[in-house]
Structure 1
Amino acid sequence: MLDALAAAGCPCWISGGWGVDALVGRQTRPHRDLDLAIDAAREADALRVLADRGYVVETDWRPVRVEVVAPDRGRVDLHPVVFQDGDGRQAGFDGAWFDYPGADLTTGAIDGRAVPCISARLQLTFHQGYEPRDVDILDLRRLKTMT
C-alpha cells in the first residue's frame, strides 16, 4: 500500500501504533489499524488508491480523519495534514490543531524496510490529552526511551 501511495504521488507518514513500531524497528504488538498522516492536497488521490485495493470509507470525520476498511486487509485511518513551507497542521475536533513540524517527519523501519513515519517526540505529543489505554502505555514507554 505504501508503494502504491508513493507511486500515485501521495506522501504519507506512519503514526500511531505502527509508527511506534517503525521507530522501534519491528512489530511489538497487534494493531487494529494503520494510521497515516497524508498530505491533505492529495487526499482524493490517496482515497482512490485505497479504493482500487478494495477499501471503502467506514468513518468520515473530515477534515479530522477518514477511516477506510477492506475485508481481509484491515483498516487504514487517514489523517489529512495541510502543509505549508515544509510544516503541517491537521485539524482536530472543536477547532483544535495538531502541528507536524517538518523536522518530525522521519524514517523508521518495519521488517527491515525503511518507511516514512513521525518522530518519537511528535508521537509523545499526540499521546497527550486523553486517558491512555494499556497499549498506549506500552507505546509511551517505548517512545520515552527514544527521546
Structure 2
Amino acid sequence: MTRQDPFQPADETSRALSRQLMQGATHAALAVLQPGTGLPSVTRIALALDAAGQPVSLISTLAHHTAALEANPACALLIGEPGDKGDPLTHPRLTLHCTAQLIPRDAPGHPALRDHYLAQRPKAKLYADFADFRFVRFQVTDGLLNAGFGKAYRMAPGDF
C-alpha cells in the first residue's frame, strides 16, 4: 500500500495564514538535538521577526538549547496556539524547519537587530545586555502548515 502525501502545495490562503501566524507569534516551541545523545529536546522561546521577516530570539548561553544549536544548528520552530474553545487540533499551527545563526555581539548588524527586537519585545530590555544573552536568527528552509483537519500545506521559504 502506497501512502498518499497529505500535503497540498502552498496557495495564497496558506501563505497569508503562515504570515499571520509568524507576525502574531510572541513565542514558539524550539526543537533541537542534544549534543552527545542526539535525543530531541523542546523548549519555549520568545520570538520576534527581524526587519527581513526572519524569526529571531534572544537566548542565554546558559540554556541547554544554546549548546545544542552550537553543536548542530538544524532545528525546528512550532508557532501557533490553540484557541480558547474546541479541539486544539483544529487550530492552525506552523512548523518551520530552520538553520540557527547565532549572532555575535560585535557583528555589524547587531545594534540594528537589538533595536528592532526590543521594539517588538520591550520587556527583554531587562536582560538583553546581560553578558550571557545573544541573538539567534532562524533561517527558514521550509515549513509545514496545518490549517486544521484535512488542510496541510508544504511551504517554501518564499511563501513567508
Which of the five TM-score ranges fits, normalised by the shorter chain?
under 0.3
